[in-house]
Amino acid sequence: MSRILIVEDEEAIAELEKDYLELSDYVVDVCTEGTEGLRKAMEEEYDLYILDVMLPGTDGFEICRQIRTEKNAPILMVSARKEDIDKVKGLGLGADDYITKPFSPSELVARVKAHLARYERLVNAANATADDDIIRIRGLKIDKTSHQVWVDGDEKNLTTREYELLSFMAENPNQVFSKEQLFQKIWDMDSVGDIATVTVHIKKIREKIEMNKDKPQYIETVWGVGYRMKI
Ligand code: CA
């Protein structure tokens, strides 16, 4: 059963949110003052936070900022003023969603459900695989156990050689490797082919993982030397 903390000083709104969330089987705590809300947020375990921006005591900006220093659970920011929402976005405080008052309770419940489902998937994925087996470079994720590759959440199908080349470079980020070094590392010395094979494979990998293969974000060409994985 997921636990939700609401920090909202308008009691009628807080009660309405609580009622609707409880109807969906969530366990809900309410704080109507900011400093108390912050204390509860930090001391207890919640699966999701709903924070009003303007609060007596500590405001929603600060509560959001402090939660994010320690916790990964989703944060929904609520405000009657669009300027506040813009400010939260601008400050990059790490909120996951923004809702402008007035909003319909069913809209709130729908968003809560979506964020909790997403968060649960993330937590399960993190638990399922030891961190050592996962390489992450910005949007690129490589699972060394299953040999799967994702870019921004989309799985990419690489051939065995492409996978070996990409994962070798990702495990040695920022190092420049010559085509000769990469060929020796990934291909058997006596295998058919030459260093042009490396160029062909880099091109194919880029077509699969780069948004714009003419401006690679991951595998960078170091002219006259070779390639390196940018971090
Ligand atoms: Ca308020």
The domain ranges of the chain are 3-125, 130-229
Beta-carbon neighbour count of residue 5 at 10 Å? 24
**Cα–ligand 1 centroid distance for 79 (angstroms):** 7
Query: What's the confidence (pLDDT) of residue 128?
Result: 58
**Cα–ligand 1 centroid distance for 218 (angstroms):** 44
**Cα–ligand 1 centroid distance for 33 (angstroms):** 9
Contacts of 175 (CB under 8 A, 6+ apart): 228, 229
Distance of alpha carbon 183 from alpha carbon 160, whole angstroms: 14
**Cα–ligand 1 centroid distance for 82 (angstroms):** 13
**92 vs 197, more confident:** 197
**133 vs 124, more confident:** 133
What CATH code is assigned to 3-125? 3.40.50.2300
**Cα–ligand 1 centroid distance for 2 (angstroms):** 24
Q: Which residues surround ligand 1, an ion (CB under 5 A)?
A: 9, 52, 54
At 124, is the pLDDT very low, low, confident or very high (cuts 50, 70, 90)? confident
The answer to whether residue 192 scores a pLDDT higher than 70 is: no
- Averaged pLDDT for residues 203-212: 93
Distance of alpha carbon 158 from alpha carbon 140, whole angstroms: 13
**56 vs 223, more confident:** 56
Beta-carbon neighbour count of residue 201 at 10 Å? 22
Query: What's the confidence (pLDDT) of residue 149?
Result: 94
At 190, is the pLDDT very low, low, confident or very high (cuts 50, 70, 90)? low
Q: Alpha helices, DSSP H only, in 92-195?
A: 105-128, 160-171, 179-186
Q: Evaluate if pTM is beyond 0.75.
A: no
Counting residues of the chain whose pLDDT is more than 90, the rounded percentage is 60
Distance of alpha carbon 79 from alpha carbon 50, whole angstroms: 11
The answer to whether residue 227 scores a pLDDT higher than 90 is: yes
* Phi, psi (rounded to 5 degrees) for 127: -75, -30
Distance of alpha carbon 13 from alpha carbon 41, whole angstroms: 19
CATH fold of 130-229: Arc Repressor Mutant, subunit A (1.10.10)
- Averaged pLDDT for residues 176-190: 84
At 58, is the pLDDT very low, low, confident or very high (cuts 50, 70, 90)? very high
**Cα–ligand 1 centroid distance for 77 (angstroms):** 11
Query: What's the confidence (pLDDT) of residue 129?
Result: 56
